[in-house]
Amino acid sequence: MAETPSSTKDSQDSEYIDGHDAVAGRQVVYNIIQRAEFRGSATFGVDGHARSEVRQRTGRIGATELNRLDHFFQPPEAFVRLAEELAQERILLLEGRPGSGRRAGAIQLLRHVAPGLPLVSLSPTSTFSELCTKKFHKQGYLLPDKLGERKISRAELDNLTEALTDAQAFLVVTLTTMTAASDVGVTLRHWPAPVANTLLATYLDRHGVNVDARQREETIAQLPADATPSQVVAVGKRLVAGHSGIEALGALSEENAARVGQWFDQRPTFGQLQFIAALAFLDQTTESAFEAAFEQLTQAMTPTPATPEAITAETVIPQQRHDRFTADSLATVTSETDDYGTTGRRVELKQFVSHERLVSCLHERYGPQLWNPLTTWLRTLARRRDPQLQAAIARGVAQLWKVDRTVAECSFLTPWSKGTAAEQLTAALALWWLGLDSRTEDAALQCATDWAAKGTASQRRTSIVAFSGALGLRFPSDALKWMWRSATAATNDKELQLARSSVVEFCAEASADVETLTAVVRKVLALVNGLPCNPLVRRDALRLVTDILAVRCGGLLLPTTCLRLVPDSATALGQLWAHTLLTRPVRRAALDTLCACLRELERGPRDAEPLPHRRGTASDPLIERLGRSILAALPTEKERELLYTDVTRCLQRRSRHDDDRTVRILLALQAAF
């Protein structure tokens, strides 16, 4: 495959990514995920397919993941011994192959030695040097799939152990076998994958009460011994959903991968190869979009004859579309009806086809004759502002990354990250796809971090978009850290606008998951508390905080959603509002948002009964908690007097739509201030 060295300077005609383009790209990515789920081919952690639920991998480990472990986790024989070592040493370094359940095992070990303590997942980009200087609390810490190249010395390990002991904390670091061999330099403990048959039997005992007993036993017996926990759970889910044992095992069988290889063994024609190579990077696009793009590829790869053959009445025209979708083909075409009743056709790989295996065969079997024009074609398509094409191309490049990361970066991601706005968005979407696969999410995070920290201006913009989507939802703390830096320190107005809109869109997306939402609120508060004394920097940062507090998701303000789902978040939200209320340029907007939040809390959930009230005060405990938090964070009586004046003005200009309850809330605030 041809590799073109990327320019070290930004293109002078480089465009700026529009926030609307990122939103459109996000919607296309999630639509593809949902279609994969509907087809039954989306098995997260198996063959690189993504799941529709994008859950955070860093920050506070919430009840959802812990409850899932209670249902799925099967401790290996060495569990007790490892737990005893962790309790004694305070730190444990686990190595094992990807997919062996190291994260689940690390969490369960921490729960075993520190029952009741909060559990926190650190960023994979954290280095051992940073850990040695980190201030630990009485918590359990997990550093999953640590990245980096420098080894940890025995002295650093002793210092880290001493810091953990002083804080009464525990730390488990997981590493892949390949990383551990070159990256640590101290004694490691191997994490053995649970026995696949036993794990499936345990899962079916808890969830598969309606599965036929004979089918259950046959499936357990046929399950490959080297199946990973995520694969075992995928098989169990399919059995519970009503699939046969053969269908449930189909995603894990090597037969499907072999069928892809057999298709190439039959020596496909040049036209068939062109078609399947194009589909590897345009999977699940509409037929019209695919045909228009494929025509460009055929023109680039097929030489034009000097004397074109004349077409007569007897000329037999090849049935190209029919021949593409035969029983032996790897492709199919499906019809679907959109929300407006319009029926369209979509070209996609057949359900049994492993996308990663297909790209691997193309990469391993063919050289520059195929890949040079294919690379040029993909670069041309990536310059189009077409979210459907960009998302499909990004997905194909993400599969190529898993086969050959160097080629994917040098030929596509690096030049795109320095290119036009459309190319930057395509590169960001590729990191989204990589972030949806547990095998590549950490490397995708490292790539985005490098662009944000050490890249060109275009690469910084690309990283902003990358962090605003699926990758950021996996690593919310890292995402907010880098987007916040751009939103508060950017010198270019367009970059500042992109960063601010990306932060707002990211927070709106995070509102769909309670654990991610609370992690976002805590991280924003930590960033605000770490602001410098420079009044201009604080003003711009608190304007962004005001925008975050005004984010709506599902018709409700972000604080309203957070307070209803996690009442304890009142403390953090109160402190954030206090920061904004103490800043004159944003006080009015912050107060308006606070009043709107109070109105929503006053109304209560749609299915709730009206709340009773005492004269002059609101009896809603959430409002009371939020009010106490705001008051506690206000430092001086002078500031409370200023807020009293603003609340009075708010009462004087209240909307005619405000009912008596809203007025009583404002009166309560006025009395409190």
Structure confidence by residue, pLDDT tens digits, 328-349: 788 888 887 655 566 778 888 8
Give the per-residue pLDDT at 51.
Answer: 36
Q: What is the DSSP letter of 614?
A: B
Task: Give pLDDT < 70 ranges for the chain.
Answer: 1-55, 146-152, 177-187, 208-209, 226, 250-257, 303-323, 337-342, 604-620, 635-640, 651, 653-673
Long-range residue pairs from 412-415, CB within 8 A, at least 24 positions apart, any chain? 412/375, 412/378, 412/379, 412/382, 413/447, 414/6, 415/4, 415/6, 415/7, 415/379
577 and 656 housed in the same domain: yes
- The CA-atom distances, in angstroms, between 469 and each of 23, 286, 498 are 9, 23, 13
219 and 184 housed in the same domain: no
Of the three residues 163, 190, 217, the one that is the final residue of a domain is: 190
Long-range residue pairs from 141-144, CB within 8 A, at least 24 positions apart, any chain? 141/110, 141/169, 141/170, 141/171, 141/172, 142/61, 142/103, 142/106, 142/107, 142/110, 142/171, 142/172, 142/174, 143/171, 143/172, 143/173, 143/174, 144/57, 144/102, 144/103, 144/106, 144/174, 144/442
Give the per-residue pLDDT at 180.
Answer: 44
Give the per-residue pLDDT at 16.
Answer: 65
At 271, list the tokens.
């036209």
DSSP states of 85-151: HHHHHSEEEEEE-TTSSHHHHHHHHHHHHSTTS-EEEPPTT--HHHHHH----SSEEEETT---SPP
Give the per-residue pLDDT at 149.
Answer: 45
182 and 156 housed in the same domain: yes
Give the per-residue pLDDT at 557.
Answer: 92
What phi and psi values does residue 511 have, to the nearest 5 degrees? -65, -15
Give the per-residue pLDDT at 13.
Answer: 39
Give the per-residue pLDDT at 610.
Answer: 43
Beta strands in 257-326 (DSSP E): 285-286
Give the per-residue pLDDT at 255.
Answer: 55
Q: Is residue 641 part of a domain?
A: yes
Interacting residues of 577 by C-beta distance below 8 A, sequence separation 6+: 549, 590, 594, 626, 630, 633
218 and 92 housed in the same domain: no
546 and 574 housed in the same domain: yes
Tokens 């809109």 belong to residue: 501
Q: Is residue 598 part of a domain?
A: yes
578 and 537 housed in the same domain: yes
Q: Is residue 9 part of a domain?
A: no
Give the per-residue pLDDT at 428.
Answer: 93
pTM of the model: 0.78
Beta strands in 583-632 (DSSP E): none
160 and 211 housed in the same domain: no
> Residues 136, 169: contact at Cβ < 8 Å?
yes
Give the per-residue pLDDT at 614.
Answer: 37
Structure confidence by residue, pLDDT tens digits, 460-472: 999 999 998 889 9
Interacting residues of 492 by C-beta distance below 8 A, sequence separation 6+: 457
Of the three residues 161, 190, 219, the one that is the final residue of a domain is: 190
Q: Is residue 450 part of a domain?
A: no
At 646, list the tokens.
């603003």
Give the per-residue pLDDT at 8.
Answer: 40
Helix (H), strand (E) at residue 351: none
595 and 667 housed in the same domain: yes
Q: Is residue 518 part of a domain?
A: no
Q: Is residue 26 part of a domain?
A: no
Q: Is residue 642 part of a domain?
A: yes
Q: Is residue 435 part of a domain?
A: no
The CATH number of whichever domain residue 130 belongs to comes to: 3.40.50
220 and 186 housed in the same domain: no
Q: How many domains does the chain have?
A: 3
670 and 598 housed in the same domain: yes
At 130, list the tokens.
């940073």
Give the per-residue pLDDT at 20.
Answer: 63
Give the per-residue pLDDT at 42.
Answer: 35
Separation between Cα atoms, residue 616 and residue 173, nearest integer Å: 54
Give the per-residue pLDDT at 7.
Answer: 42
Q: Report residue 612 CA to chain centroid gap.
A: 42
185 and 226 housed in the same domain: no
Which residue segment(s) compose the domain that 240 sits in? 206-252
107 and 221 housed in the same domain: no
Interacting residues of 204 by C-beta distance below 8 A, sequence separation 6+: 211, 216, 220, 236, 239, 240
Give the per-residue pLDDT at 484.
Answer: 93
Q: Which residues pair with 370 in a beta bridge?
A: none
